[in-house]
Amino acid sequence: MRVIAFSLCLLAILIAAPGGSSAEERIGVVLMHGKRGNAGPGSLVGPLEDALREAGFAVVAPEMPWSRGRFLDRSIDGILAEIDAAVTALKNDGASRIVVGGHSLGGGAALAYGARREALAGIFVIAPGHFPESRGFQKRFGEDVAEAFSMIAAGDGAKTADFRDIDQGESGVFAMRADAYADFMDPEGPLAMPKNAARLKPDTPLLLIIGEKDHSFRWGRGDQDYIFDKAPPHPKSRYSVVPGGHKATPRIGKDEIVAWLNSL
């Protein structure tokens, strides 16, 4: 009887192990930063990265092609390849289930990845940002997008040129690869979030978490009807509103994100 009791106790400990995993199963998380941001200490996603590691998850938080130092140096194929590499690193670290997520544009990239890859344990989108399919983006950047496609047609897609962009109300002109700019800004392109949400696999749960003071929330973009309800229904999918604005959501929402990951 003592042996049986010990075995049951050990089983309970394994089931309740942090990171939503047992000795044979561990969740790995690819965490992506927002536009012109970065990961690591002092970044907007830094507190969330720390919380994920403290909860027992394996985490890879790479510098993505839309970081301040790289902006923009990869088209969608390059982005997917970099996320694939992060997934491989997690599996090499012992993760058997993979969740991909990110903040702002990083969340949009997570949706794009989930729409094009199989066997993911989940996708999470924090304070979704970057809406190339919106009328405002089309009106403001349509000429630049047309120029980027003209360069691609001429065989110059890998060359850089000056293109306009906007990030949380701050606009500017940046030297970017034409093929990368086209993928990021095409209203019918690979980063249109409602379209990608609809293409998620039925067995992939989605967490969308947004701050009540986020501009996207007030516009209706990033809200439940715009992205979340486009995804296939899943019993573990969740739409969550937290206090604060766009930049604060990874920090304010970190406990909810950890809890959702543990529920998987």
Give the domain ranges of the chain.
25-131+189-263
Residue 103 corresponds to which amino acid?
H
Whether pLDDT at 69 is above 60: yes
* Contact of 97 with 119, CB cutoff 8 Å: no
The mean per-residue pLDDT over the stretch 251-264 comes to 98
Rg (CA), the chain: 19
Residue 76 corresponds to which amino acid?
I
- Residue with tokens 């060359």, as numbered in its chain: 159
Question: What are phi and psi for residue 23, nearest 5 degrees?
Answer: -60, -30
- Residue with tokens 């209203």, as numbered in its chain: 187
- Output the CA–CA distances (angstroms, integers) from residue 127 to 65, 168, 182, 227, in the order listed: 19, 11, 23, 11
Strand-pair partners of 239: 208
Give pLDDT, residue 19.
55
pTM here is 0.89
- According to CATH, the superfamily of the domain at 25-131+189-263 is Alpha/Beta hydrolase fold, catalytic domain (3.40.50.1820)
Give pLDDT, residue 14.
37
Q: Running DSSP on this structure, what letter comes out for residue 22?
A: B
Whether pLDDT at 157 is above 50: yes
Whether pLDDT at 205 is above 80: yes
Whether pLDDT at 21 is above 90: no
